[in-house]
Copies of this chain bind each other. A is one copy, B any other.
Amino acid sequence: MGKIKLSEISTKAPDGLDKKETKEKLEGILQELDELQNLLYAESKHSVLVVIQGMDASGKDGAVRNVFGKLNPQGVLVRSYKVPTAEEAAHDFLWRIHLHAPQKGYIQIFNRSHYEDILVTRVHKWIDNKTARKRMQAINDFEKLLQEHNDTHILKFYLHISPKEQRERLEERIHNPAKQWKYNENDFEEAKLWDDYMEMYEDCFENCNDVPWTIVPTDQNWYKEYVMATMLRDTLKGLNMQYPGLKKK
């Protein structure tokens, strides 16, 4: 695969795709997922890690609510990573990540993740390139550990939004009382660093691609949700899981 150029990838649903029809399909997939997740839990041979990254207002929270929030919370855990606490910052950057790696039978969602440690940190030049390269290697080693030593299937989603759509969503946060709690004036400052973020994301996709990324066009939420649910469904189906039957002594 050549280097990903985000500016060349559409942020919109494919032309001609019907919204109503796609939403109906999503309902069907969510029902399949409900059954597949139960099977994953019952069999307890595999685990699944879903990493969600994206710019502010790209719809990460919505994806968690509308796709993974429909599944049984007993077997689906969500962890949102924010600025590290003092205790987290006193450890290697993967410590707080590894702590929440999924155990067998579980689906773990990361809303933001270890990738922030090579994204926001680089855009603001809190770390140099040499440190970034070392972190990328450490991330690749870490993801291999989960894959090879705990049958963890990793899905990495980048929610791909256009700067225009982002601006509209950020502005809506000012005016919509139900969204004002999400408003952060700093988001507009961060948005000005758009090109730097894109460059760092592209570098990340190139160097941390042992587990491939899915670039999800996300200007329309219904399409984003459909893509993510489909990927998860296909991944779980591919595991050929079986109910284990009666336990033998």
A interface residue numbers (CB < 8 A to B): 44, 87, 90-95, 98-99, 101, 103-105, 134-135, 138, 141-142, 144-146, 148-150, 152
In the complex, chain B residues whose CB is within 8 Å of the CB of A152: 92
In the complex, chain B residues whose CB is within 8 Å of the CB of A150: 90-92, 95
Which of the residues B95, B103, B144 comes within 8 Å of A91, measured between beta carbons? Answer: B103
Which of the residues B92, B99, B146, B148 comes within 8 Å of A145, measured between beta carbons? Answer: B92
Please report the C-alpha to C-alpha distance between residue A95 and residue B90 in the assembled complex, in whole angstroms.
Answer: 18
Which of the residues B138, B144, B148 comes within 8 Å of A149, measured between beta carbons? Answer: B138
In the complex, chain B residues whose CB is within 8 Å of the CB of A105: 90
**B90-A101 in contact (CB<8A):** no
Please report the C-alpha to C-alpha distance between residue A90 and residue B151 in the assembled complex, in whole angstroms.
Answer: 10
**B90-A145 in contact (CB<8A):** no
A81 CB, nearest partner CB in chain B, Å: 16
A207 CB, nearest partner CB in chain B, Å: 16
6 A-B pairs whose Cβ atoms sit less than 8 Å apart in the complex: A87-B103, A90-B103, A90-B150, A138-B145, A138-B149, A141-B145
**A94-B149 in contact (CB<8A):** yes
In the complex, chain B residues whose CB is within 8 Å of the CB of A146: 92
Please report the C-alpha to C-alpha distance between residue A149 and residue B99 in the assembled complex, in whole angstroms.
Answer: 16
Please report the C-alpha to C-alpha distance between residue A150 and residue B142 in the assembled complex, in whole angstroms.
Answer: 15
In the complex, chain B residues whose CB is within 8 Å of the CB of A138: 141, 144-145, 148-149
Please report the C-alpha to C-alpha distance between residue A104 and residue B92 in the assembled complex, in whole angstroms.
Answer: 9
In the complex, chain B residues whose CB is within 8 Å of the CB of A103: 87, 90-91
In the complex, chain B residues whose CB is within 8 Å of the CB of A92: 101, 145-146, 149-150, 152
In the complex, chain B residues whose CB is within 8 Å of the CB of A144: 138, 141
Please report the C-alpha to C-alpha distance between residue A80 and residue B145 in the assembled complex, in whole angstroms.
Answer: 23
Which of the residues B91, B93, B141 comes within 8 Å of A141, measured between beta carbons? Answer: B141
A8 CB, nearest partner CB in chain B, Å: 34
